[in-house]
Amino acid sequence: MCGADGVPGVVLDPFMDTGTTALAAEKHGRDWIGIELNPKYAAMAEERLRAERAKRQPWQAA
């Protein structure tokens, strides 16, 4: 990290695929919106996000 001040905003990923951009946004404390038309990729993204969130907050895993 360079230490520069960040600009608040929302990360938009119009082609979400498996959620890599969403994972990076969450890692850096940013809100995000992801759009994915393929239900298989949407399910993969949901699972990746769920798994990563469980690593950070295991007491909230569902």
Give the count of domains, the chain.
1
- Higher pLDDT, residue 57 or 17: 17
Residue 62 scores a pLDDT above 60: no
Whether residue 48 is contained in a domain is answered as: yes
- Determine whether 40 is exposed, middle or buried from the number of CB atoms within 10 Å of its CB (0-12, 13-18, 19+): exposed
- pLDDT number for residue 50: 96
User: What's the pTM value of the predicted model, to 2 decimals?
Assistant: 0.78
Residue 5 lies in a domain: no
Whether 1 maps to a domain, the answer reads no
Instruction: Return the closest-CA partner of residue 17 out of 31, 38, 32, 47.
Output: 38
pLDDT, one tens digit per residue, over 1-48 is 577 677 788 999 999 999 999 999 999 999 999 999 999 999 999 999
Domain span holding position 42 = 10-56
